[in-house]
Structure 1
Amino acid sequence: MEFLTWLDHTFPRDFFDENVAQRALRHLGYHEKWGLFSEDYAVQRGAEGHWYECLVYEIMLDLSLQTDLIRSVVRKGNDMQEPHIATHPGQNGFFYSEKGNLTVRGNGQTIAEMDLLFVDNLGNMGFFEVITSAMGLKTFHEEVCYKKMLLGTLLGQKTVPFVLVSSVDVSQYASVQRIAEEPDCLVLITNPVEEMRDLIYEGSLRRRPERPGPHQKAVGLTPFRPQNSFDYKEVHDGNRERVVWAMLSARTDDGMEAIASVVNPLSKKIMLGTLDESGVRTMLRDRGVRIKDAVLSADDVVGCFCRVVIAFDIPAYTPVIYFKVRGKDEYLKIVLDAGGDLAFESSRTPAHTMAGFYEWLDAEKPSLHPRIAERYASLFFTRREAHPITGASSGPAGEARSPPA
């Protein structure tokens, strides 16, 4: 691809342009700027990561003026000109986040976020991912493939260019090597972000960054509209019906292949429905659920929670269960931990950051037959050779009590 070849030769790996480095600061908030010099390592690394992402954006704005191979670069961060639109069910397509990040929403949820979006000379939209760490690369290839498929489906593109920019050498990681082998993909390794950050000094943070004038190739995100029909809830509901049918009709030895064969991969998660008390006991027949310092049995779960929704994530095909706390607008998200046990991971509430997802999660769901609960457990849970742990809670089995705070 001509654009990627040009970018491979043109993008600066050894970056020491103080003006562009300072310009990238304007996308960071006050506390995030000072976080670049924090003594807290985690805070400093988080600020560095965001600044480096904004630096790549500013570099691409400059490079776009040097070639006809870049038709436009999508504004982000402090350059966002459209008002932020709060999430709500039914939203599908391109939206800015509250902080000016570039996202795709499906039924009001963020199903993909891209660090940078651009349009090449052929009219194809492509995207960048920008990283400063090798952490989280295990599923990176799958995430990139999903975003390529999503953009291609929305915009009717056969080609979706992708560029990975990293300030650490990730070229030996299997997931990155797989990306480099994909068509229309480019991996760029720059000098370390710690070296580039030396272009910023504490005195420069006290300056009020100047807002650049109009950029002839910068465009907004929201004018991009899906060319193909895209109703994420409709895709999800169709997936759910096919998966339930497959779970009821497939032979036991068909395994996960029978499920994967009927799934439209545009879905990131499939919520199968709710379980009644019989379904919960069937699903948790031989296992407990660890919530902080307690292990709850099936009877405990029935007593503590008023609703149980079972789901699974795609493309990893890993189980996710949501327990609604009695008397609260809160669900506990339960996943398999590294040891293969069901364990509490985090909460889901109507907070604005996840309002769209919470509303969808809390909406009326089909009630599932215990046979589905049994099939779900056999497909998604690790088979156990050890003794069952039902009733192994920190209180008497079946004793109704609130989940640990």
Structure 2
Amino acid sequence: MTATVTVCIPAYRAASFIAQTVIGVLRQTHSDLRVVVAIDPPDDGGPCGTATALAPLMADRRLSVRTNPKRLGWAENVNSMLRDVTTPYFCFLPHDDIWSPLYLERLMAALAAQPQAIIAYCDILRFGATPPTRKSVILPQGANRVTGLLHFLLQGTEAQMWRGLTRASALARVPGFPTDRHLGFVVECEYALALHGVGAVVHVPQTHYFKRIYAQDTISASRARMLLPLEDCRLGWQEHDRRMQRLLGEALDDMQAEAADRNLCMAAKESALLRRFQQFVQPALTPPELSRAEAALQLCAASADPVAGQVAANLHLVLQAHWQAQGNALNAAAAARDAWQAGSTFGSVLAHAQALARQDRPLEALERATEAMRIGHCDDTRPAQVLIDEIYAGLGWGVQT
């Protein structure tokens, strides 16, 4: 049987869970595959245990394991695995995540139904040190590439699709998996944007992927980036910002996007990148970032696209977080109100509810919080439920026993 899919699993200190990940791949209903595990050795030269944990599975000839001569880092290790792709399709699978048995079958069917698409991905269910939470980046079914790109940007350029099933032919136009000098500072988002730039992306609205979440005292690769010194975070974000700007321009050029679509996509990108600045650098924007937010809002105001309101709502949420960090409760509340009025997204409605609660307006806050629960079917609605519970307690509306 000739393999059609190469599954690339970059691994680091994965002895306690790697077997579960690989078993999930070997049990796929789409079984004509090969699995390659690339082990990054520990910096201290100590024993890793990952290869030992995989030894009982090596009887399956579809599995091969190699250990890098030296530590590459997570992004470099992922990029190195592209040379292992010898099949028409490939997937990246982080060493601690799990697939349902139907994962490849369903994504392969999605690509077969849309020959012009280069990648298909599905929803994610988080497990481990968190209640089960579904994560989804929703792209409109049957939409053109510009619309798909806009919705990707609108949802924060979350890189969910980098884990999807990809046509190997895309590698002729995507120059590898990005690396940098900042521990792979959200480079997966750059890779996801690059994929949008070379072909259609298909969202399969089913949950066949399970992502492991760790307790706060466990330092994963993403948490290690957040623990970098402030100046390193700033430099990492600046490089990421420049790359995303370039990749978006290239994608829009490839799509031959019209000026109005370009402007709205640029505004949505600004919202995502400024939110990432607040997440990784600091919540208070500096004057240059504030100017970018205001300029993006002007692009939204000039747009006739119905999605412009949602982009504006995201930008107002960025400004709300800024004013909260500055200790300006009045401006923060105004920004939350502006976000709600601009577009009824889960985040904007929840922010307005929280602002009303801080203003001691509990009944209005309850209405907004329950509205957030109603429209947040694809979001993590726990913050809205927590707010509702707090308001109930404050009003003395707890369950009577």
When normalised by structure 2's length, the TM-score is 0.26
Q: Relative contact order: is structure 1 or structure 2 higher (C-alpha 8 Å, sep ≥ 6)?
A: 1
Greater helix proportion: 2
Max radius of gyration: which structure? 1
Flag the structure with higher strand content. Answer: 1
